[in-house]
């Protein structure tokens, strides 16, 4: 069945879950609630304003040529990745307008973003047990690097994701993939569907969308927390099951997601990083 580009990722997600349920599969998988869908609709509406000058683009390889070796060695249009900044700006506006959080001073770090520097927006929730959300905007250091955002949570804070994780043409799967990744990570913090455990040289992150394990280098300090929902009278979705597996040998040299993981031996077009980044070696939602 063809994908309808006019439908949001959360509508398609719910369609898929309902389809599984009809065939007797995925009984433990729940649809996104009406409240979650309304929240995402609000973000999309705000994004129409913040992203007015950052156009979306399709996956260039969906119906076109296969990825070539040279595609992994260049970034033709790094400016287009400003769209990720526009998306987190939309999230920030919606969360503040709903009164679920207030802007706060910087938190201390347990596991910093891979990219050094950047401007932090710290959103401190008003609900008891909820954890802060830190959205960091990294501006390009040269013409070969894109705008990039890091999503972190907790106090001390743990970096959860860096988007885009790679800006080369070969790893470009279109803007929709980037926006969905931002949405699922921010939603995981706000909805309270997040458990983080970082200690020694290992970290584990669980959300309702999947589970991720990593090695950790140069941890600032260990931490463990389970988030609570930001809104009052809100029931979080269940966390994915914990899954353990052996660490591969050798590990990837930096945090790697999705296509970049499958192309881990190729050069990633990113800004120089700092110690403290994690190396992912499994996920249940891939």
Domain that holds residue 93: 35-58+68-283
pLDDT at 248 over 80: no
Top-confidence residue, 3 or 211: 211
pLDDT at 282: 34
Confidence tier at 112 by pLDDT (50, 70, 90): very high
Confidence tier at 44 by pLDDT (50, 70, 90): very high
- 28 falls within a domain: no
Whether residue 206 contacts residue 194, with contact meaning beta carbons closer than 8 Å, is answered with: yes
Arithmetic mean of pLDDT, 166-189: 93
pLDDT at 139 over 60: yes
Handedness of CA 45, 50, 55, 61 (dihedral sign): negative
pLDDT at 25 over 70: yes
Arithmetic mean of pLDDT, 239-244: 72
Of 233, 162, 151, 164, the closest CA to residue 194 belongs to 151
Report how far residue 250's alpha carbon sits from residue 240's, in angstroms, rounded to the nearest whole number: 27
- 43 falls within a domain: yes
Arithmetic mean of pLDDT, 42-49: 98
Arithmetic mean of pLDDT, 41-45: 98
Whole-number average pLDDT of the chain: 82
Confidence tier at 214 by pLDDT (50, 70, 90): confident
Top-confidence residue, 98 or 214: 98
Provide the domain count of the chain: 1
Top-confidence residue, 116 or 159: 159
57-71, 85-99, 125-139, 178-192: the lowest-pLDDT one = 57-71
Lateral strand order in the sheet of 101-104: 101-104, 119-125, 133-138, 148-154, 157-163, 109-111
Arithmetic mean of pLDDT, 109-127: 92
- 8 falls within a domain: no
- 205 falls within a domain: yes
Question: SS3 for 245?
Answer: coil
| Structure confidence by residue, pLDDT tens digits, 142-174 | 766 788 999 999 999 999 999 998 888 888 889
Using a pLDDT cut of 90, give the percent of the chain over it: 53
Tell me phi and psi for residue 169, to 5 degrees.
Answer: -60, -35
Top-confidence residue, 128 or 273: 128
pLDDT at 207: 94
pLDDT at 259 over 60: no
pLDDT at 269: 40
Arithmetic mean of pLDDT, 18-33: 86
């Amino acid at each position: 069945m063809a994908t309808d580009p006019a439908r949001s990722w959360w509508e398609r997600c719910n369609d898929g879950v309902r389809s599984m349920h009809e065939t007797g599969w995925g009984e433990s998988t729940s649809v996104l609630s009406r409240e979650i869908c309304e929240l995402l609709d609000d973000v999309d509406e705000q994004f129409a304003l913040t992203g007015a000058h950052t156009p979306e683009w399709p996956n260039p390889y969906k119906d076109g040529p296969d990825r070539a070796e040279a595609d992994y060695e260049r970034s033709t249009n790094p400016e287009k990745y400003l769209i990720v900044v526009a998306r987190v700006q939309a999230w920030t506006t919606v969360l503040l307008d709903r009164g679920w959080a207030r802007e706060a001073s910087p938190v201390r770090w347990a596991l910093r973003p891979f990219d050094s520097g950047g401007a932090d927006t710290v959103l401190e929730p008003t609900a008891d047990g909820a954890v802060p959300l830190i959205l960091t905007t990294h501006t390009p250091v040269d013409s070969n690097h894109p705008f990039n955002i890091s999503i972190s949570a907790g106090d001390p804070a743990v970096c959860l994701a860096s988007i885009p994780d790679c800006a080369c043409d070969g790893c470009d799967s279109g803007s929709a993939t980037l926006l969905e990744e931002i949405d699922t990570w921010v939603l995981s913090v706000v909805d309270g569907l997040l458990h983080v455990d970082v200690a020694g040289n290992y970290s584990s992150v669980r959300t309702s969308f999947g589970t991720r394990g990593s090695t950790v280098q140069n941890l600032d300090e260990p931490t463990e927390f389970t988030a609570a929902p930001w809104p009052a009278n809100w029931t979080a979705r269940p966390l994915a099951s914990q899954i353990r597996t052996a660490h591969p040998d050798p590990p990837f040299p930096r945090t790697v997601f999705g296509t970049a993981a499958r192309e881990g031996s190729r050069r990633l077009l990113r800004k120089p990083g700092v110690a403290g980044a994690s190396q992912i070696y499994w996920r249940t939602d891939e």
